[in-house]
Amino acid sequence: MSTASVQLPRWINYGAIPLINLVLAFVCSGLVVWAIGESPWEALQLLVAGALGRGEGIGFTLFYTTSFIFTGLSVAVAIHAGLFNIGSEGQAYLGGLGAALVALSLDRYVPWYVTMPFAIIGAALFGAACAAVPAWLQAKRGSHIVITTIMFNFITSSLMNYVLVHLLIVPGKMAPETRTFLPGGQLPKLDWLIAMFGGKLGAAPLNVSFLIALVMCFLVWVLIWRTKLGYEMRTLGISPSAAAYAGIPYAKIVMITMLISGGLAGMMALNPVMGASGRLQIEFVGGAGFVGIAVSLMGRNHPAGIVLSALLFGILYQGGAELSFDMPSITRDMIVVIQGLVILFAGALEYMLRPAIVRLYQQVAGGR
């Protein structure tokens, strides 16, 4: 109680505390690994080597990272305005439709770099559209955004099922997916980036959307901390009554924020749909929307933090896949447990250690 008001230096708040939480998560994971009779140390080595050891592993890691950056940014933007957007998953899914429609209609006529800006806009528009209804319900009707965005995940899922199975499926085929885009509708791989560090990308799907994600990080930072709109969002997020006093229009800010948030989630689709598989497939989001919540929490809703925590989750995804391949007793489910522990310690239990650290800091700093 008494430590909550103490302001800690940035390096502790944004550096030491997340790091300690992370170490704790790994210690707990290590115990789990040890309990099923494997060596934690060996498992950790396999995980890290799998994620960062070779050019291909790095390519996969950064591919996952890209998706998590988009969804993490989506969650963070909403949180700054006091809105908890649980719907990034569905918004990304619908964003895939936007990207695919652009790719399908342009890939025959123009090269990829002409298609790309339209695809970004298409993905963002569809993602935003998916967020628009919950936003409107929150702004005008007071329906809680958490509930409505969750429901929209289900609605989107059913909608996309219908669209893929009945409308976009290639006639005569069994798989509910679109045709493969021509090169004009695909985002090129970043072989050169990995090659710069002397590695080989191999089969890894790391592509141009990684760069788009980094640009979005910068734009989100500008939005939140350098624009008048961002100022209004933050005011509303921290103190709705001060926002009312300042004449900041609640409904308008809620709408705009959610549209931006949904748009960012929608852009996530560029990565798997246009960058990796080159077609729109069923369930391509695969939980990245939910991981975005943890990424945003752990990254303290700051773009720089989000890049780092998205990278961490990218490592866990890729390294975890390799680990369960190399150590058969560690199944996919075990990897999910480890990811869960990281989310638990870094996200949910973020403040568990804070009081103790504040005391320690006060003793050390006070003695000076």
Partner 1 sequence: MRPFFRNKGRKGEALGLGSASEPAIELVGIDKKFGAVHANKNINLTVAKGTIHGIIGENGAGKSTLMSILYGFYQADQGEIRISGRPVAIRDSQAAIAAGIGMVHQHFMLVEDFTVLENVMLGAEGGQLLAKGTSHARKELKRLESDYGMEVDPDAVVEELPVGTQQRVEILKALYRGAEILILDEPTGVLTPPEADHLFKVLRVLRDQGKTIILITHKLREIMAITDTVSVMRRGEMVATRTTSETTVEELAELMVGRRVLLRVEKGDAAPGNVLLSVRNLTVKDSRGVVMVDNVSFDVRAGEIVGIAGVAGNGQSELLEAIAGIRKPTSGEIWIDGKPAAGIDPRGLRELGLAHIPEDRHHMGLVLKFEEYENAILGYHRDPRYGRGYLLDLDAIREEAEEKIAKYDIRPPNPRLRTANFSGGNQQKIVVAREIERDPKLLLVGQPTRGVDIGAIEFIHKRIIDMRDAGKAVLLVSVELDEVRSLSDRILVMFAGKIVGEKSGDASEQMLGLMMAGIAA
Ligand X SMILES: Nc1ncnc2c1ncn2[C@@H]1O[C@H](COP(=O)(O)OP(=O)(O)OP(=O)(O)O)[C@@H](O)[C@H]1O
Residues that bind ligand X (CB under 6 A): 5, 7
Task: Name residue, tokens 């391509």.
Answer: 284
Q: Which among 129, 149, 127 is positioned nearest to 138, based on CA atoms?
A: 149
Q: Which among 321, 314, 320 is positioned nearest to 65, based on CA atoms?
A: 314
Q: How far is the CB of 7 from ligand X (least distance, A)?
A: 6
Q: How far is the CB of 363 from ligand X (least distance, A)?
A: 17
Toward ligand X, which CB reaches closer, 4 or 364? 4
Toward ligand X, which CB reaches closer, 2 or 5? 5
Toward ligand X, which CB reaches closer, 7 or 241? 7
Toward ligand X, which CB reaches closer, 4 or 167? 4
Interaction of residue 228 with partner 1, rule CB under 8 A: yes
Of the ranges 148-156, 236-244, 314-322, 342-350, which one interacts with partner 1 (CB under 8 A)?
Answer: 236-244
Of the ranges 53-61, 85-93, 106-114, 245-253, which one interacts with partner 1 (CB under 8 A)?
Answer: 245-253
Interaction of residue 235 with partner 1, rule CB under 8 A: yes
226 binds, among partner 1, ligand X, none (CB under 5 to 8 A by kind): partner 1
Contacts of 143 (CB under 8 A, 6+ apart): 134, 137
Toward partner 1, which CB reaches closer, 165 or 246? 246
Toward ligand X, which CB reaches closer, 2 or 7? 7
Identified binder of partner 1 from the candidate list 44, 214, 229, 308, rule CB under 8 A: 229
User: How many residues belong to the site for partner 1 (CB under 8 A)?
Assistant: 25
Burial zone of 355 (CB within 10 Å; 0-12 exposed, 13-18 middle, 19+ buried)? middle
37 binds, among ligand X, partner 1, none (CB under 5 to 8 A by kind): none
**300 SS3 class:** coil
Q: What span, in angstroms and rounded, lies between the C-alpha atoms of 261 and 327?
A: 39
Contact 349, 103 (CB under 8 A): no
Contact 163, 97 (CB under 8 A): yes
What does the chain come to in residues? Answer: 368
Q: Which among 125, 65, 13 is positioned nearest to 313, based on CA atoms?
A: 65
Q: What span, in angstroms and rounded, lies between the C-alpha atoms of 355 and 358?
A: 5
Q: What span, in angstroms and rounded, lies between the C-alpha atoms of 73 and 255?
A: 17
From the CB of residue 146, how many other CB atoms can be counted at a distance below 10 Å?
Answer: 15
144 binds, among partner 1, ligand X, none (CB under 5 to 8 A by kind): none
Contact positions vs partner 1 (CB under 8 A): 1-2, 5, 7, 222, 226-229, 231-232, 234-235, 238-239, 241-242, 244-249, 362, 366
